[in-house]
Amino acid sequence: MIVGKQKSIAEIREIVLPYKKLLVLGCGTCVKTCFAGGEDEVATLSSALRLSFKKDGRSIYIEELTVERQCEDEFIREAAVAISKNTAVLSLACGAGVQAIARRFANVPVLPGVNTTFIGVLEKQGLFTEECLGCGDCQLAVFGGVCPVSRCAKKLQNGPCGGSRNGKCEINPDTDCAWQQIITRLTALGQLDNLRKYNPPKDWRTSHAGGPRKLVREDHVI
Amino acid sequence: MIKKYKPQITLFHCINAFDNCASLPVSTGGAFELKPVKMACSSMVKDVFLLRAFEAGADAVAVFVCPEGQCRYVEGNIRAKKRVNFVKNLLDEIGLSGRRLSLHNVECGDTENAVRILQQVLSDINDMGPSPAK
Ligand code: SF4
Ligand code: SF4
């Protein structure tokens, strides 16, 4: 899932200040799971904004709505009526959702209320960790299901480096050394030999380094 | 005619911590309004309910929960405490002051303590003045 964090009230206030009628638009999928932009967060943020403006003697009209997914046109359409009644949209989706709304509604300013942070997992209640960088050429089969691209601070393909200490990374004693985990897991799987094979330098052209990417599934294009 | 200011406290309370708060014998120098909101468990106190209480005109919001380790639903009071702390930070960010929101562990039926807490909340409102978002 995409993990994000809501922006501070001060920053959001600044962004929405020029608008009198605002639609706070949530997304009921990834950002809901990480408590950044689902129905509850839409309600809490809207209430906090109203209080904040009222305290300063300003008035703002806020409408609240959450759609299932902001990155799919089918769901975005449900927001059309609410968007037409307001002068701006504060989207609590990830950056993809914000842009999908902006693309469909060309005449309405669409503002981000969330900082999109990473592709990750819910490790336990309230803890989200980064697990994938979307490199476009997944090598998890070689590395025992532990990603050195997203979880090694140096993105080493042939680690560990000399900074690995007692299973922790030198950048932060709270960060696990991904390469320690790769070796532990490959040992447990009896696949440590994977690391004896030649592993060519990573071709970053499939990653974002090759510019914005596009995926076309001809079999689904009509 | 200018309406006379009457401090308003919204009190969210778990029915296991306190059955009925409407009749608590709080004696103060002046009049005040107490709006009790009963909950089946304190964990039902969502962030937005606390904020909406301020939108509805509260000068302070108090939450009564059972003592730690005594929640009928095991950890409801711990969840309530975490939410209250989250909203206190939000109130500070907004400039409304997190001091206007407080959580208290109250033994079931301890009227004396409940009254003492509400009197303290009232005296805090007197120090801070009315909510600037009223
Ligand atoms: S808009 Fe973003 S947050 Fe919402 S479902 Fe799509 S990817 Fe997830
Ligand atoms: S190897 Fe690439 S695609 Fe696979 S998990 Fe790592 S970053 Fe993601």
Orientation of helix A39-55 relative to helix B76-94, angle to 10°: 40
| Domain co-membership, A138 together with A87 | no
The label of the residue with tokens 């997992």 reads A121
* Vertex A118: Cα angle to A115 and A121 (nearest 5): 125
Chain A environment of B95 (Cβ under 8 Å): 52, 55
| Domain co-membership, A81 together with A159 | no
Q: In whole angstroms, how far apart are CA B122 and each of B50, B116, B125? A: 18, 10, 5
Q: Is the pLDDT of residue A72 over 60?
A: yes
Single pTM value for the model: 0.93
**Is A112 within a domain?**
yes
Show which of A72, A92, A118 is a domain's final residue: A118
Q: Where are the domains of chain B?
A: 8-128
Q: How far apart are the first and last CA of chain A?
A: 28
Structure tokens at B10: 């919204």
Work out the mean pLDDT of chain A and round it to a whole number. Answer: 96
Chain B environment of A8 (Cβ under 8 Å): 93
Q: In whole angstroms, how far apart are CA B2 and each of B5, B58? A: 9, 19
CA distance B106 to chain A (A): 27
CA-based nearest residue to A94, from A37, A146, A141, A143: A37
What percent of chain A clears pLDDT 90, i.e. is strictly above it? 96
Ligand nearest to the CA of A28: 1
A90 class by beta-carbon count within 10 Å (0-12 exposed, 13-18 middle, 19+ buried)? buried
Q: In whole angstroms, how far apart are CA A207 and each of A95, A134, A182? A: 18, 7, 22
| Domain co-membership, A39 together with A97 | yes
Distance A96 CA to ligand 1 centre (A): 7
Nearest to A50 among B46, B55, B93 (CB): B55
Task: Write out pLDDT tens, residues A131-168.
Answer: 999 999 999 999 999 999 999 999 999 989 999 999 99
CATH label of the domain that carries residue A50: 3.40.50.2300
Nearest residue on chain A to B93, alpha-carbon basis: A9
For residue B53, give the H/E element and its range. helix B47-55
Q: Which domain holds residue A104?
A: 2-118
Task: Write out pLDDT tens, residues A109-134.
Answer: 999 999 999 999 999 999 999 999 99
| Domain co-membership, A203 together with A111 | no
Q: Is the pLDDT of residue A192 over 80?
A: yes
B8-128 homologous superfamily: Lumazine/riboflavin synthase (3.40.50.960)
Q: Is the pLDDT of residue A213 over 60?
A: yes
- Stretches in chain B below the pLDDT threshold 70: 1-3, 22, 27-30
| Domain co-membership, A32 together with A111 | yes
Distance A35 CA to ligand 1 centre (A): 13
CB proximity under 8 Å: A 28-87 to B? 40, 43-44, 47-48, 50-52, 54-55
| Domain co-membership, A114 together with A168 | no
**Is A157 within a domain?**
yes
| Domain co-membership, A159 together with A206 | yes
ipTM over 0.90: yes
Could you tell me the sign of the dihedral formed by the alpha carbons of A204, A208, A212, A215, in that order? positive
CA-based nearest residue to B108, from B67, B77, B74, B78: B67
| Domain co-membership, A106 together with A200 | no
**Is A63 within a domain?**
yes
Nearest residue on chain B to A49, alpha-carbon basis: B94
Domain count, chain A: 2
Instruction: Judge if the beta carbon of residue A135 lies within 6 A of ligand 1.
Output: no
Structure tokens at A5: 């964090």
Show which of A118, A153, A187 is a domain's final residue: A118
Nearest residue on chain B to A57, alpha-carbon basis: B133
- Mutation test of the interface with chain A: which of B44, B45, B51, B97, choosing the one with the most A Cβ atoms within 10 A? B51
**Is A128 within a domain?**
no
Show which of A118, A143, A158 is a domain's final residue: A118
**Is A149 within a domain?**
yes
| Domain co-membership, A57 together with A160 | no
Structure tokens at A58: 């300003």
**Is A222 within a domain?**
no
Nearest to B47 among A8, A44, A51 (CB): A44
CA B22 to chain centre: 13
A&B contacts, CB < 8 Å: 40
Nearest to B93 among A10, A43, A44 (CB): A10
- Per-residue model confidence (pLDDT) at position B20: 74
- Per-residue model confidence (pLDDT) at position B28: 64
| Domain co-membership, A183 together with A91 | no
